[in-house]
Amino acid sequence: MSRNMQGFGMMISKLKKNPKKIVFTEGTDPRILEAASRLLASNFLTPILIGNKEAVENAAEEYGYNIRGANIIDPEAFDQIEEMVALLCELRKSKNLQPERAREVLKQGNYFGTMLVKMGLADSLLGGATYTTADTIRPALQLIKTKPGHNIVSSCFILVRPSATGENEVLAMADCAINIKPTEDELAEIAIGASDCGQIFGIDPKVAFLSYSTLGSGAGEDVDKMRNAAQKAKALRPDLPISGEMQFDAAVSPRVARTKCPDDAVAGHANVFVFPDINAGNIGYKIAQRMGNFDAYGPILLGLNSPINDLSRGCNADEVYSMAIITAALVDVDADED
């Protein structure tokens, strides 16, 4: 278990009161099987493992994991396959998908698992132990689609480390994985999604739109974009403390903030960071992870009608376990938004 898993206590408590079902698209992978065995022992999350039943059970036995109680579903022996085929054809009718082709598509764990969520047979999905990010996200975009009022799918990383006070320091960073060069409107949506996600982890959001300029100290197109995006986010969510454009030192250091922007409520205390593009975001969270000694959880996908999340193909079982908890915890958040 991660050194910071105590920070997941609130999510686990909620799941114990209202257990969820989560689909794992790669049911024979040893990392998935180890995480599934731990979840089954904890009794707050029911894994659905996609794959041939015999192959999944043999793999679990080979690697020494107890998956008794897991729901194993073989796409090629699913008793509701005709209903699933019909629904998939309806969802993809604009592409003129025919039943014969739909059956072939549904032999793939990523599409089959996503359809289980679409049909209400599972609450959420976690994939990507062997699938690429694109192969996990594509079925979600095609079948689950974005929530009403959302124009994009975005992502955030939650970063956690122990502080000197004994409590965890928790930050949210976005978008570090999905949107390459987001527009002003997209940045505003990214900020709100990251703030809402951060609240699941106990963050009281204070949002900084990052730049090489602090409240007009610099000039240029990129500065204008972050300033305008911050204003748009404020208009959408006046309840959130939002500021920008802002340099990172002004965002996190009270001493620097007193010099650069003494009257700003976010400066010096920011805990949700919105980056101007994927280059800055991806570099930024990895610097925090590798040099700041933070544990990084994500990418957590935001804006979909149901929680679908992606794993790194280099993940370990602990990361699978953590991301399963996060993914399932987003179910109730999505329901509250609806």
Can you give the residue ranges of every domain in the chain? 5-145+304-337, 154-291
pLDDT for residue 2: 47
Residue 229 pLDDT exceeds 50: yes
Q: Which fold has domain 5-145+304-337?
A: Rossmann fold (3.40.50)
Note the pLDDT tens digit of each residue in 172-198. 999 998 999 999 999 999 999 999 999
Same fold yes or no, 5-145+304-337 and 154-291 = yes
Q: Is the pLDDT of residue 287 over 50?
A: yes
- Distance from CA of residue 161 to its chain's centroid? 19
- What's the pLDDT tens digit per position in 298-328? 889 999 999 999 887 888 898 899 999 999 9
Q: Quick one: pLDDT at residue 270?
A: 96
Q: Does domain 154-291 have CATH number 2.30.30.40?
A: no
